[in-house]
């Protein structure tokens, strides 16, 4: 069954300086073996559009191209529109806004040649110490999260792209990051009904696909297999009990959670497909995975299961072809203006009252998002927006006594970071700065609840949910709204 490689969706990553050129060998190999699509990470929007057109022109088979766009197409692609994190949208609790966020994301994705959006996150934010969900979730309340998941899917469909609810049956209770290890959720079956509520809503809303979690749930599968490799969870729970008939995608197969559960190389690919997954996302070695699948056909991988997966992918392609994108534009000024207005509404004053922007100030950046295989995003939008508002901003490593000080603390949710809270290093840096400038304003680019981990002497705290450029701009504009020449 030479077509079996169509279940594979390798990753292509932009690299500053070379764009996607360094991926040419991977692209050639993937197209040679006949993969079903790709997942894209990063890049200039115009270059992404050029890449997707080139991939489709060169491929012998129709391709589906996806991307993680939980925070809008601008989350990955420079020049497209960024959106606030899901938690920030849920805090507004305006379903029309969430619906429009899904529509805008889909519309821009299709304009760039991306027809499958790996969103929304349907995990509940049940564990504040969870190192990988947090602000990606629409919150802890199952009814509210379900309503926003539904609205986002409706918007995505209206914008002309495929949607994907993740990470089934729920990543919200974990204390570990499945990028780095295999988390185990010890909750009883009746407790997990709470976690399933947003997924049930997604299925009722007609979500196109569901992505599995690399998480073990002994109450659902006593073998200890992660959901991605568990027929009890995929076939028994998702298919039979919840009645989902769309495509099932794995989370990335390069993550340690599935490697620990299923083995290196093609072993996990075979087990995932046999367990009921249809799309194998981000195989580290696509050719090796394809060979392993071929070798397993008729044995560990029944022919009927492989044929069902290929049929599911064909239905996804057909569905994408019948969805008509609204236009071929991205990064429109009016879309950014709307996103920025929403972002400003999500800001939360957690303590005191942030300073009114003076003529001159010091800016101390405490970046708690460093580490891991991929660097955090740029931190230049915050100072740039302060300067464009008329303030003279001096970026400092140490505050100057007597000068107004803003401390920017970046504390977002990131893969491989390994924690949800602030590091002792970051807390100490803030405390040391406050010794010199006790009236400083702390702008927390993370979940508002992390303000509880800041030193008690941080008397003025503005929370901005995340560190993307949009939220930096929104926070700076909030400070500038009290601009004074005194």
Q: Which two tokens stand for residue 278?
A: 């249809």
Q: Which two tokens stand for residue 428?
A: 């100490």
Which region, left, alpha or beta, applies to residue 265 given φ > 0 means left and ψ of -120 to 50 means alpha? left
Residue 410, phi then psi, degrees to nearest 5: -95, 120
User: Tokens 């959106």 correspond to what residue?
Assistant: 83
C-alpha distances out from residue 188 to 66, 235, 366, Å: 34, 19, 40
Residue 365, phi then psi, degrees to nearest 5: -100, 125
Angle between helices 286-296 and 267-275 (to 10 degrees): 60
Q: Which residues contact 365 (CB under 8 A, 6 or more apart)?
A: 379, 395, 407, 408, 410
Q: Which residues contact 393 (CB under 8 A, 6 or more apart)?
A: 360, 361, 362, 363, 383, 386, 387
179 is an active site residue: yes
User: Residue 254: which of 143, 139, 127, 415 has the closest Cα?
Assistant: 415
**In DSSP terms, which residues pair with 39 in a beta bridge?**
11, 66
Question: Looking at 251, 368, 369, 412, which residue is catalytic?
Answer: 251
221 is an active site residue: no
Question: Looking at 148, 167, 179, 447, which residue is catalytic?
Answer: 179
Helix, strand, coil distribution of the chain in percent, nearest 5: 45, 15, 40
Residue 457, phi then psi, degrees to nearest 5: -80, 0
User: CA–CA separation, 349 vs 234, rounded Å?
Assistant: 42
The answer to whether the CB of 336 falls within 8 A of the CB of 81 is: yes
Q: Which residues are catalytic?
A: 179, 251
């Amino acid at each position: 069954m030479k077509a079996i490689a169509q279940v594979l969706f390798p990753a292509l990553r932009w690299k500053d300086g070379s764009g996607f050129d360094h991926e040419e060998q991977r692209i050639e190999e993937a197209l040679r073996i006949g993969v079903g699509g790709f997942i894209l990470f990063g890049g200039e929007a115009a270059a992404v559009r050029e890449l997707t057109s080139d991939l489709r022109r060169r491929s012998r088979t129709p391709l589906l191209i996806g991307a993680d766009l939980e925070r809008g197409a601008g989350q990955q692609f420079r020049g497209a529109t960024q959106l606030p994190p899901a938690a920030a949208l849920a805090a507004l609790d305006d379903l029309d806004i969430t619906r429009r966020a899904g529509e805008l994301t889909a519309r821009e994705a299709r304009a760039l040649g991306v027809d499958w959006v790996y969103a929304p996150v349907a995990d509940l934010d049940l564990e504040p110490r969870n190192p990988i969900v947090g602000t990606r979730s629409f919150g802890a309340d199952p009814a509210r999260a379900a309503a926003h998941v539904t609205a986002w899917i409706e918007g995505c469909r209206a914008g002309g792209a495929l949607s994907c609810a993740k990470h089934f049956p729920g990543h919200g209770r974990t204390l570990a990051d499945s990028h780095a290890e295999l988390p185990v959720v010890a909750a009883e079956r009746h407790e997990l009904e709470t976690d399933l509520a947003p997924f049930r809503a997604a299925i009722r809303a007609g979500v196109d696909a569901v992505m599995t979690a690399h998480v073990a749930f002994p109450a659902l599968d006593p073998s200890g297999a992660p959901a991605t490799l568990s027929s009890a969870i995929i076939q028994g729970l998702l298919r039979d009990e919840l009645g989902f008939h769309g495509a099932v995608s794995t989370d990335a197969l390069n993550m340690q959670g599935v490697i620990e559960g299923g083995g290196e190389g093609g072993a996990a690919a075979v087990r995932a497909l046999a367990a009921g997954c249809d799309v194998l996302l981000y195989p580290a070695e696509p050719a090796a995975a394809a060979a392993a699948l071929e070798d397993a056909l008729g044995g560990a991988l029944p022919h009927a299961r492989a044929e069902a997966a290929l049929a599911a992918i064909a239905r996804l392609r057909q569905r994408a072809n019948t969805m008509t994108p609204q236009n071929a534009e991205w990064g429109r000024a009016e879309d950014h203006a709307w996103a920025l207005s929403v972002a400003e509404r999500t800001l939360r004053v957690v303590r005191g009252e942030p300073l009114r922007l003076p003529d001159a100030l010091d800016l101390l950046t405490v970046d708690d998002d460093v580490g891991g295989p991929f660097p955090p995003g740029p931190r230049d939008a915050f100072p740039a927006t302060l300067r464009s508002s008329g303030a003279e901003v001096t970026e400092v490593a140490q505050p100057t006594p007597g000068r107004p000080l803003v401390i920017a603390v970046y504390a977002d949710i990131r893969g491989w970071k390994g924690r949800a809270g602030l590091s002792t290093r970051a807390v100490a840096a803030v405390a040391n700065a406050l010794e010199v400038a006790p009236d400083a304003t702390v702008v927390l680019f993370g979940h508002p609840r992390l303000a509880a981990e800041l030193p008690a002497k941080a008397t003025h705290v503005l929370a901005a949910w995340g560190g993307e450029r949009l939220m930096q701009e929104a926070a700076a504009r909030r400070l500038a709204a009290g601009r004074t020449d005194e």
